[in-house]
Amino acid sequence: MGSVFRSEEMCLAQLFLQAASAYDCVSELGEDGLVEFRDLNPNVTTFQRKFVSEMRRCEEMEKTLGYLLQEIKKADISLMDCDVNPVAPLPKHVLKIQLDLSHQAQFEEFPSLDKEPLMDYTNMQRLGAKLGFIAGIIHPWKVGPFERMLWRVCKGYTILTYEELDIPLEDPESGEDVKWVVFLVSYWGEQIGQKVKKICDCYHCHVYPYPNTNQERKDIVAGLNTRIQDLHTVLYRTEEYLQQVLSKASESIHTWLIQVRKMKAIYHILNLCSFDVTNKCLIAEVWCPVADLPKVRQALEEGSRKSMATVPSFVNRIPTTDTPPTLLRTNKFTSGFQNIVDAYGVGNYQEVNPGPYTIVTFPFLFAVMFGDFGHGLIMSVFALWMVLSENNPKLKRTRNEIWNTFFDGRYIILMMGLFSLYTGLIYNDCFSKSLNIFGSGWSVKSMYNSNVWKNADVRHNQYLTLDPNVTGVFRGPYPFGIDPIWNLATNRLSFLNSFKMKMSVIVGITHMTFGVILGVFNHLHFKKQFNIYLVFIPEMLFMMCLFGYLVFMIIYKWLAYSAANSELAPSILIHFINMFVMQRNEDAQLYPGQNGVQIFLVVISILSVPVLLFGKPGYLYWKHHGGRNFGTYRKGYTLVRRGSEEEVSLLRTHEMEQGDIHSNHTSQADGAEQEFDFGDIFMHQAIHTIEYCLGCVSNTASYLRLWALSLAHAQLSEVLWGMVLHMGLRMDNDYGSLLLFPAFGFFAVLTVAILLVMEGLSAFLHALRLHWVEFQNKFYTGTGYKFSPFSFELLIRHSDDFA
């Protein structure tokens, strides 16, 4: 089987990296994204690791780059979207980059000069030699309190005049443009002058010297004006230069950013390695898929070649008892569905992967709950649009979380929409109306022709029921789906409920049986054949004898009973309950000999429970304490004693793969007795048995949500039709056609909001639950951990998400 059905085989490998070429080799490995590094220095803190200074340097560069990026964004220079993938630079190139960056940072300091304000002078009458003046500018919000404070403190011995400036100037503290207010305080007396100065300080005014003669004032104003002109020119020039510098920087800033990030990642990885005894060689331990070992060798050779090292680096596979990570290779289509499975739990190493089956069963179960042709069409078109424009970069990089979620699941939505089209056709439900493609199987005319109905009947009654017993009324089942006449009938729900409930039960039992069968593949792969006889067969017997028989009864009743003997048709549910209670069915039997068959099935299923409960622990106990396999076990025992360290480890690996999660096999290097905790295994098996048996019943009932949700969906769309669009179409006054437009708009909005979004999410959630709980707990453990390789691509994609 291909690698998608089961996770790939992984091996632990040791890389011996030459000290000089370590950087290049790791860079090559990062480009390919093949291996996952393990931390060989777990006891060392971040500050004690070997490459701390390099990491610090990288982080400083990152900070400078971040600041540059901010400045570029502030200046509104457009950044080029770059898909460039530059290689991590060598340390000597790094210095050059650092110098460049520091140059750029310096020029940033220039434009933060604050401007001198214009000074406006007011014509003030001079009243006395002791008159003093204080002039300044103040923030406009503070003018009121300032004035009040002056009045209270100086008790009216000051006069405050103020005027707003015409042009807004930048406030150096807050950076905003504010219209400053220029004020002039005139006062009598020295002490009041001191008080006024203190108040001005409090309110953070900029105070300026106010000359006493008119001539001086004019001179000062002229001087200030020229100064302002000069400053304007200087500022203008500086801003131009800043723009130039930033534009040049914006071209290469992305490249720099990526390069610095890659460097940081490489040093982080190098920190994880350990030095060997001679201090010339770095040793790294990696998890690597077995199929990729030749590629790793190639990458190491490439790295050695680039750094022109004399001694090549090489990779060596080592045996291990640790559980390897799980790797499942997915493409853009399968990754969505695999994420659904992984969200429940990443599979154990080499466990059967429910992913490929989920690609079909998940949209199918969704569609059973959502089945409407019209809504499915809208959903498919929407998903198709997303899929066709998936290469549009604007769609890929939006910040909107909700849109990103929908966009990432575009293939899932497409599959769900396509399956909904199909189930909508079968349910014969298109925006709550049925399509009559093949001609209905029910004929009303025949009721007249057979003289069952006469015109008088029709006139005097409100409802009449067609009788399939009359010849010609029922002419055969509708070839594809539900007959369209049921859409017009008032007892539609009686028929549909029965149909959908039975359909849910059949689909559910099929799904669960499939799950149990998938467990067989696990048993076969991990070479535990005894599981097949002691676990799988009792489970299947239990399920089939009870619920498989239920399915049989459903199908039998469909085929054996017709309208002619419909009064005799028994209720299946009552028969099923009676079967459990072992009560005889006095009145009707579904088929002759039913009682005997039912008793037989119940006995078998009851017998399979103790087999399930005691079989596996008993067998393991017997095997451990000597049995038929004693000979081979002994041989394995002596091998452990005689063999080398490598063989011991290999044997341990083999046993680890076989050993299940319940048993504690703690084997020591000197080949001591293996511990066998019978109590633990038995407890685990008891829990499994109870869970399985009770779960069979409750999970079957749980699948009835397929019926419930599809009923809710159908009813909602019927309400929307009846209450909204039908009203709009029925209006027969003059302006009725105009009112149809808003009515349709309302209908469309509610359809999308309630039926597509809300019902869609609800059906999605329930389909998810059915998969995670009812299907996967029959065979899936999901306690592994995911393989996360050291890959620059993943790194950059993650950091872009945060940028």
Q: Which of residues 297-356 bind another protein (CB under 8 A)?
A: 329, 331, 334, 356
Member of 110, 314, 406, 448 binding another protein (CB under 8 A): 448
CB closer to another protein out of 506 and 607: 506
**Which of 14, 491 has the CB closer to another protein?**
491
Interface with another protein, residue 682, by CB under 8 A: no
CB of 448 to another protein, least distance (A): 6
> Helix crossing, 52-74 with 91-107: angle to 10°?
40
Do 473 and 443 meet the contact criterion of CB atoms below 8 Å apart?
A: yes
Q: Is 6 in the site for another protein (CB under 8 A)?
A: no
Question: Least distance from C-beta 487 to another protein, angstroms?
Answer: 9
Residue of 117, 189, 345, 441 that binds another protein (CB under 8 A): 441
Our finding on whether 468 is near another protein (CB under 8 A) is: yes
Q: How many residues bind another protein (CB under 8 A)?
A: 74
H-assigned helices in 273-354: 293-307, 334-344
Question: Looking only at residues 488 through 547 of this chain, which bind another protein when binding is defined by CB under 8 A?
Answer: 488-492, 494-495, 498-499, 502-503, 506-507, 510
Residue choice 426, 602, 704, 796 for contact with another protein (CB under 8 A): 426
Which residues from 559-598 bind another protein, rule CB under 8 A?
559, 561-566, 569
Residue closer to another protein by CB (options 139, 575) is: 575
Residue 505 or 620 having the CB closest to another protein: 505
Report, in Å, the least distance between residue 372 CB and another protein: 15
Phi (first) and psi of residue 668, to 5 degrees: -105, 165
Longest dimension (CA), the chain: 130
451 lies in the site for another protein, by CB under 8 A = no
Nearer to another protein, 440 or 578 (CB): 440
Closer to another protein by CB, 371 or 784: give it.
371
Q: Which token pair is 345?
A: 């739990």
Binds another protein (CB under 8 A): choice among 27, 423, 605, 685: 423
Contacts of 218 (CB under 8 A, 6+ apart): none
75 to 134, contacts with another protein by CB under 8 A? none
Report the residue number, 212 or 494, with the smaller CB distance to another protein: 494
SS3 14: strand
- If one asks whether residue 555 binds another protein (CB under 8 A), the answer comes out as yes
- For residue 139, give both structure tokens: 């923030």
Handedness of CA 191, 196, 197, 202 (dihedral sign): positive
Instruction: Give the separation between CA 741 and CA 734, rounded to whole angstroms.
Output: 14
Residue type, 331: N
Report the candidate in 326, 339, 337, 382 with the shortest Cα–Cα distance to residue 360.
Answer: 337
Q: Which of residues 472-491 bind another protein (CB under 8 A)?
A: 473-483, 485-486, 488-491
Q: Quick check: helix, strand or coil at residue 132?
A: strand
- Residue 41 is a binding residue for another protein (CB under 8 A): no
Residues 357, 411 contacting (CB under 8 angstroms): no
Q: Tell me how many degrees the CA angle 280-283-284 measures, rounded to the nearest 5.
A: 150
Structure tokens at 363: 């949209």
Using the minimum distance from each CB to another protein, give the nearer residue, 193 or 508.
Answer: 508
Closest to another protein by CB, 466 or 607: 466
- Give the residue from 555, 560, 564 showing the smallest Cα distance to 474: 564
Smallest distance, another protein to C-beta of residue 443, A: 7
CB of 467 to another protein, least distance (A): 6
Q: How far is the CB of 590 from another protein (least distance, A)?
A: 14
DSSP 53-99: HHHHHHHHHHHHHHHHHHHHHHTTPPPPP----PPPPPHHHHHHHHH
Sole binder of another protein in the list 266, 328, 368, 379 (CB under 8 A): 368
3-state secondary structure of 181: strand
Of 262, 299, 287, 304, residue with least CA distance to 18: 304
At residue 784, the 3 state secondary structure works out as coil
Token pair recorded at residue 280: 């010339």
